[in-house]
Structure formats: structure tokens, C-alpha cells
Amino acid sequence: MVFFYDDGSEEVQVKKPIPLTLISTLLILIVTLLVAETLTVKVQSTSLRSSPKFYASSVQALRAGDKVEKISTQDGWIQVRTAGGVVGWVHSSAVTVPKFDLMATNQGLKTQASAGEIALAGKGFNKQVEENYRAKHGELSFVWVEKMLQIKISAAQVEEFLKKGRLGEFGGAQ
């Protein structure tokens, strides 16, 4: 079996590498592995799925702040590996992309503005601010807001709905 691997660093082919070149190449490799491939879950909870579909079976539950390692991408989905070594798929909208994605292009340094979200997690308009706001406005009810958040439609229910309605991959989608 042949594996093709492109780490984007053609520099390694330099003849008789001098120590400094070697160090820089190693550093960029380490940085790539440690930074560029690590994604952080930014939604309250989601599932690591067995295939790149919302109604694929769940492999493992993921929570905000969980770190996963990127393996590959496909149509808005990212194949990842958890710290525990479990492999599955997450939708790209559920994770924060890293600050410096060196692997994303071959054109050099590439930045991702959303990286600031990691630094800001839990800050600003948070639970504490909401509690303070609610203390000032005791008449404002959150009962239905909480009930609304409790409405859970499983991916299996949506799949059934799509199937019966001949929607998505089960019918009309173009």
C-alpha cells in the first residue's frame, strides 16, 4: 500500500542540510502538528459522527473547549481525531480554526480571524452578565426560553422527516 504525504515543505530536499535549515524545518513541522491541526469545539455540545452527515451515528459526544486534531476535510465537514484517539467527523461550523493554518495554502502565512474566539471564550456577555441583567429585571421571565432550549429533535427524527418528505438525498435535492 502506498501513502502519499505532502507536508508542503519542499525545503527538506536541500542537499547537505545545515543545522539551521534542519532546525527550521523541524520547527515548522512541530508547529504544524501542534498548532495548525488542532481545532477547538466552539458550540455547547455536538457529536463526533461516523460519517460526514448530521444523521450519521454518533461516535462520541463533544463539548465546548474540547480539542480535536484535523485529519482531512470534505464538503464543509472535517475528519478529526480526539485526544483519546477516536476518529470521526465534525461540521466545520462547530469548531474554531487555528490561528496560523500553515497547511491551508502553499502561499505562506495564512490567518484565521476566528482564532480570537479561543481567547474570548467565556468572556464578555456571559452567564454572569445575564444573571446581573436578570436581577435588575425581575419581571422578565426566562421560563419559555429554557423550555425552548429543551426542544430536542434528534438527527434520526430529521432523517425520517427527510425520507418521508422525499427531501435531501431521499428525493428532490438537486
Partner 1 sequence: MRTLARIAPFPATFLTVLLLASCAAVQQGTDILAGAGKISESDRQAIAKTSQAVSATFSEITEEQEYYIGRSVAALILSQYPVYDNRVLTTYINTLGQAIVYSSDRPEIYGGYHFLVLDTEEVNALSAPGGFIFISKGLIRRCRNEEMLASILAHEVGHVCAKHGLQAIKKSRLVDAFRIIGQEAARLYGPEELAELTTAFEGALGDVVETLVVRGYDRKYEYEADELAVKFDVATGYSPMGLTDFLQTMVGDSSTAAGKGWFKTHPSADQRMEKVKNRLSAVSAVPEEAQVRTQRFQKNIAVLK
Q: Which is nearer to partner 1, 3 or 144 (CB)?
A: 144
Pick the binder of partner 1 from 69, 91, 103, 104 (CB under 8 A): 91
Pick the binder of partner 1 from 44, 49, 78, 80 (CB under 8 A): 44
* Max intra-chain CA distance, the chain: 75
Closest-CA residue to 44 (of 158, 160, 159, 152): 152
User: Pattern of binders to partner 1 over 142-171, x per CB under 8 A?
Assistant: x-xx--xx-x-x---xx--xx-xxxxx-xx
Residues 6+ apart with CB under 8 A from 169: 162
Number of amino acids touching partner 1 (CB under 8 A) = 71
96: β partners = 40
CB of 82 to partner 1, least distance (A): 17
Residues 97-116 touching partner 1, rule: CB under 8 A, are 99-100, 102, 108-113, 115-116
Pick the binder of partner 1 from 2, 18, 75, 84 (CB under 8 A): 18
From residue 97, give the alpha-carbon distance in Å to each of 1, 9, 28, 87, 92: 32, 21, 18, 18, 8
Residues 6+ apart with CB under 8 A from 38: 67, 68, 69, 70, 98
Pick the binder of partner 1 from 56, 64, 87, 104 (CB under 8 A): 64
- Contact between 38 and partner 1 (CB under 8 A)? no
